[in-house]
Structures are given as structure tokens and as C-alpha cells.
């Protein structure tokens, strides 16, 4: 869409994650432990674990932390977590999907509902906004991985569906079931990616102005502060200048 970019939102989220590095590492560790516990502790034999480790490395998580999270699963002392998805609306009708991992479903449900309410949003039933999103794989490469044509050709040959390149880097989209294979093929061609993970990609977007963006991000930030919450995805769409103005106001 003209005037809009995946990168504006991705870069803002990265800035937010940098501020919450300790909390981010905790969430990444939880995903690694769960992935290792559910499958093989060897990343080469466990696609979910391999992607979790790749994402952790992309976020500069120390190797010791990664190994500790895997050993926790192997030791049998890892907590039992339920993976629960919540759906609802932020102020202005922006759709929100919240993915959680919890050892107490009642606590998490109560906290998520309260967070939506306090921010002026509404928690809905499962499926209430899910139709506005498609489950996809997202792989991110830095700009120096190659020029737009080189990365596009590598993405096509790897079986990806889409590739958007800018001065900030390359965002590659593939079917969710192909993420492991596409990521491996791209790695062989372009080297290790910055990130490779499953995402919810909006197929219907809600455009917001600066005031609307501020209201939505208050909800998103409050949700992300919850230790039970792994990811928060919205279908908000804001022009790059609005994202820039918001980033500047955040300091």
C-alpha cells in the first residue's frame, strides 16, 4: 500500500522489545523450553525448536540462556503450559490477536480481559477477529543480505509467497506450513536470517491516525507487559509519517 511499509511497524516493535530485553528473553526462553519438551531437544530434529532458537539468536539472546532453556525441558522440571489464543478489539475497532502460554488459565483470562477493558477495548470470543488474519511464516533479512532482485529470486526459488525489500531490509512471507523448509532454503542461499517465525498477517486492515495509534499501542504495550503473553498482533495500518510521529513522541 502506497505510503505504508511493513518495516515501520516492525522497527517500532523492535524498539519496544529493546526496552524490554529481560522480559523478551523470558518469553523466548519459555517458547524454547516448550518446543523442546513437546519434541526432540535437538533443534535439527525439531522444526519448532529450531525456529525458536533462530528467533532467540536474532534477538541477541545469549547462547547460555538458550542452552539453559533446552536443558530445563530435558530435566523434566519444566512447568506445564497451555497455549491459549485470545481475540478482541482495541479502541477504534482495530482487531487484536493475543497468544499466551500459561500455567494458570483463569489468571491469564482475567488479566487479558481486564487489560482490554482498561484500555477501552473489548475481548471477544475465539474467532471474532481471526477471519481478518492469515497464518503465515515471516523471515527477515538485513539489507546487506543482497539487493532486492537477488533476495526476491532466492525467495521465489525457496517457495515463498511474497518479498518486500527496502533500505531497512527484506521481509519474506511464506505459507505457515512451509516456514521450516523456506527458511532452510533461504539460509543456504543468503546465510542466516535475523528472524524466522509464524505470524498473523492481516487480510483486512484498520487505518488509524496518531491519536488512534496511541490508544491501540497503550493496549498492546500493556498486554506485552504480561508475562503470560507471548505475542500481540493487530491489523492496524498507519502511514509511515504517523508511525514516525509516534516513535518520536515515545522518545
| Residues 167-177, mean pLDDT to the nearest whole number | 94
| Residues 64-89, mean pLDDT to the nearest whole number | 87
pLDDT at residue 120 in the model: 96
Q: Is the alpha carbon torsion for 186, 19, 123, 249 positive or negative?
A: negative
pLDDT value at 174 more than 90: yes
Domains of the chain: 6-74 (1.10.10.200), 82-131+204-239 (3.30.70.980), 134-202 (3.30.70.980)
pLDDT value at 85 more than 90: yes
pLDDT at residue 23 in the model: 83
Task: For residue 61, give the nearest of 93, 88, 24 by alpha carbon.
Answer: 24
pLDDT at residue 3 in the model: 40
| Range with the poorest average pLDDT among 61-65, 143-147, 181-185, 240-244 | 240-244
| Residues 25-32, mean pLDDT to the nearest whole number | 91
Task: For residue 145, give the nearest of 133, 153, 136, 137 by alpha carbon.
Answer: 153
Q: And the C-alpha cell for 222?
A: 500493556
CA dist., res. 229 & res. 190, Å (int) = 32
Q: And the C-alpha cell for 123?
A: 475481548
| Residues 66-93, mean pLDDT to the nearest whole number | 88
pLDDT at residue 1 in the model: 31
Q: Exposed (0-12), middle (13-18) or buried (19+): which is 140, by Cβ within 10 Å?
A: buried
Please tell me whether residue 158 adopts helix, strand or coil conformation.
helix
pLDDT in tens, 194-223: 889 999 999 999 999 999 999 999 999 999
pLDDT in tens, 101-129: 999 999 999 999 999 999 999 999 989 99
pLDDT category of residue 136 using cuts at 50, 70 and 90? very high
pLDDT category of residue 14 using cuts at 50, 70 and 90? low
Q: What is the chain's mean pLDDT, rounded? A: 89
Task: For residue 229, give the nearest of 102, 91, 96 by alpha carbon.
Answer: 102
DSSP label of 79: P
Task: For residue 220, give the nearest of 47, 97, 84 by alpha carbon.
Answer: 97
pLDDT value at 251 more than 90: no
Select, from the ranges 8-17, 59-68, 76-85, the one with the highest average predicted confidence (pLDDT). Answer: 59-68
CA dist., res. 120 & res. 45, Å (int) = 44
Q: Is the alpha carbon torsion for 165, 154, 135, 59 positive or negative?
A: negative
The per-residue b/e assignment along 191-222, b for 16 or more CB within 10 angstroms, e otherwise, is eebbbbbbbbbbeebbbbeeebbbbbbbbbbb
pLDDT value at 139 more than 70: yes
How far, in Å, are 62, 100, 143, 173 from residue 150 at the CA level? 31, 37, 11, 16
Per DSSP, helices labelled H in the chain are 6-19, 21-38, 47-58, 63-74, 105-118, 148-158, 179-190, 210-224, 240-250
| Residues 46-62, mean pLDDT to the nearest whole number | 90
Q: What percent of the chain has pLDDT over 90?
A: 69
Q: And the C-alpha cell for 157?
A: 526459488
**Contact 208/4 with Cβ under 8 angstroms?**
no
Which pairing describes strands 122-124 and 169-175: parallel, antiparallel, or unpaired? Answer: unpaired
pLDDT at residue 28 in the model: 92
| Residues 73-81, mean pLDDT to the nearest whole number | 76
Amino acid at each position: 500500500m502506497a505510503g505504508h511499509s511493513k518495516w515501520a511497524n516492525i522497527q517500532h516493535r523492535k524498539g519496544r522489545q529493546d526496552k524490554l530485553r529481560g522480559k523478551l528473553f523470558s518469553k523466548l526462553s519459555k517458547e524454547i523450553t516448550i518446543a523442546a519438551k513437546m519434541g526432540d531437544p535437538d533443534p535439527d530434529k525439531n522444526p519448532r525448536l529450531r525456529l525458536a532458537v533462530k528467533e532467540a539468536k536474532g534477538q541477541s539472546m545469549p547462547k547460555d540462556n538458550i542452552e539453559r532453556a533446552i536443558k530445563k525441558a530435558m530435566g523434566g522440571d519444566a512447568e506445564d503450559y497451555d497455549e491459549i489464543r485470545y481475540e478482541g478489539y482495541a479502541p477504534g475497532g482495530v482487531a487484536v490477536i493475543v497468544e499466551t502460554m500459561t500455567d494458570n488459565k483463569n489468571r491469564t483470562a482475567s488479566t487479558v480481559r481486564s487489560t482490554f477493558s482498561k484500555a477501552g477495548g473489548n475481548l471477544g470470543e475465539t474467532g471474532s477477529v481471526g477471519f481478518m488474519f492469515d497464518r503465515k511464516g515471516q523471515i527477515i533479512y538485513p539489507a546487506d543480505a543482497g539487493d532486492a532482485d537477488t533476495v526476491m529470486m532466492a525467495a521465489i526459488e525457496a517457495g515463498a509467497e511474497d518479498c518486500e525489500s527496502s533500505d531497512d531490509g527484506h521481509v519474506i512471507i511464506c505459507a505457515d506450513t512451509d516456514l521450516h523448509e523456506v527458511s532452510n532454503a533461504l539460509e543456504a542461499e543468503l546465510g542466516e536470517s535475523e528472524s524466522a517465525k509464524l505470524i498473523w498477517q492481516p487480510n483486512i486492515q484498520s487505518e488509524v491516525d496518531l491519536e488512534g495509534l496511541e490508544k491501540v499501542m497503550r493496549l498492546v504495550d500493556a498486554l506485552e507487559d504480561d508475562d503470560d503473553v507471548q505475542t500481540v498482533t493487530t491489523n492496524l495500518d498507519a502511514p509511515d509519517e504517523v508511525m514516525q510521529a509516534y516513535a518520536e513522541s515515545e522518545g
